[in-house]
Structure 1
Amino acid sequence: MEKSLDQVFKLTQYSHGAGCGCKIAPKVLDEILSSNIARPDNDKLIVGNDSKDDAAVYNLGNGTALISTTDFFMPIVDDPYEFGRIASANAISDVYAMGGKPILAIAILGWPINILPPAIAQKVIEGSRSICMEAGIPLAGGHSIDSPEPIFGLAVNGLVPVENIKQNNLAREGDILFLTKPLGVGILTTAEKKGLLKEDHKGVAARQMMQLNKVGEALGKTKGVHAMTDVTGFGLLGHLVEMAEGSGVTAIINFENIPLITPELVSYLDQKCVPGGTHRNWDSYGEKIGDITEYQKMILADPQTSGGLLIAVDVNAVEEVKNILQQNELEKFITPVGKMIALQQKAVWIHT
């Protein structure tokens, strides 16, 4: 039986990284972005590069703000259609993480034309179109280059009422923390690369990564949501450190409440299915974390691709947020995963 192009060309074999695990580590990124050049004054730029947030936000002056973001990476799955869907869901997530509504996407494609057939790239684009349709936005164009490795992502614009903007650095002492997707994507995809993934776990990570974080738009309308971000390549710990430090508070994680993509993650960790991004993450922010076991570290620093929303909620708005999660078929995630407390020596503490 003749093999299809998808079976002949395994996308993950043509790139050195995978998904959001390709992200440059936080400490290195800080060095890259450091500059002595003064930023021009612009009172309409509500959120810029200085706050480590998910997207830039620009006040249009009519009560509405423009959200602008871009995200791209190398294949985390072999199926090109799924790669397009995952990369697109991940990019669109940044708009939802700001509490906004996506309106337009532009494709970013790098393709090794002499190595991978254009027909495979076409499937990547088709996957992207399908996710854009789910989000209710057009894939309106894009830019492509001949590159050594396959790369795909989107530049996405969105709109949000200025009063509904959700930043990642406005959490407050006493806020309750929620997480809308389980952790462990990096571990499962690493297990698959090593040929160790169990048959009943095949497709589990991909299906989760293709889920849109649409609930972010509804959460944007909730006054009691003080801060929000999506969990991607820096792992839950990395994004929580950004939220805690930016907000001037400390986070406590209730580890037993952390949702896991499968309870069998420990067996994969025993088989050394740990992405390289996990170690890079820990090297970047490990000194900011309180006492932690090796198992907890491998879970909480695991790089996520198209991960869930991390939400800091006023205690008086907890029931409202739980109702929103339930209305969006996210009732599995109504158990808080932690809380914010007064600033302490460490940015994050772990309770077991």
Structure 2
Amino acid sequence: MIIVTGGAGFIGSNLIRALNQRGESNILLVDHLVNGRKMHNIADLDIADYMDKTEFIEQIEKPGFLSGVRAIFHQGACSATTEWDGQFVMKNNYDYSKRLLHSCIENNIAFIYASSASVYGNGEHGFRVDRSCEQPINMYAYSKFQFDQYVRRVLPTTTIPIVGFRYFNVYGPREQHKGAMSSTTFHFNQQVIAQKKAKLFEGCDGMANGEQQRDFVYVDDVVDVNLWFLDHPEQRGIYNVGTGKAETFNAVANAVIAWHKDGCIEYIPFPEHLKGVYQSYTQADISGLTQAGYTKEFLSVKQGVTKYLDWLNLGVR
């Protein structure tokens, strides 16, 4: 059996879809369906069982509960970067992850988990998987950073496959439940349909309008990386998962407009509350993936946006 926590979420549901395509349906999906609309992410998936996160946490340390489990993809977390209840965030993201990690070690189960590029803070020190680059600036990022630190200490003490992925700006199918936290591609698509305009922030940090850059990575590429490491248990550690190439928000908006063959860009004032805490530039250093042996090319923004909008607007599956 394979367990996917956060299995009804964005990346988790896409992981299960890919596992199904491999012929794998002996899957335990763990989630916390307070937002019942996430069921649309999993209605077409084949799983063996569903378990609420609360019950799962109560069970994981009981003898025999994880018997026969091959791997755990741990995607479940409080992902709100605006949540400042530190006790809540650390309980859900740090303590939960530690308990699950140790259960995997005790039961010889591969542990593949979601970290975050948010650990790099404003990115002023770069985006390498190195302590000198890591400076989280919110509670979510700190919880991810601190668990990565814990993993670094544990790795030399065990031989089980342990892999953490620092996701950059992931976009693609099955993210619509995230609302305001959905990707810019999703929002630009909605805006062009409704108003024939994609709304971008004006320039900041010395950059021209819409020229802020992010490492936008398509969710299928993220899933491919996860499954490659499942197939290569000899590779262990923490890795950035992005394309390794920063692209502008203008490029994303123009790709959406090109797909629709209609629309234009409208620049709106840069929000006051984001000044000084906004990432104007991110670009993953993916040398770790290359050194591990992962060589598949990542989709560009133009390729990924086209594929996503075919799914979103035309139902191409």
TM-score, normalised by the number of residues in structure 2: 0.27
Q: Which has the higher contact order (CA 8 A, sep 6+)?
A: 1
TM-score, normalised by the number of residues in structure 1: 0.25
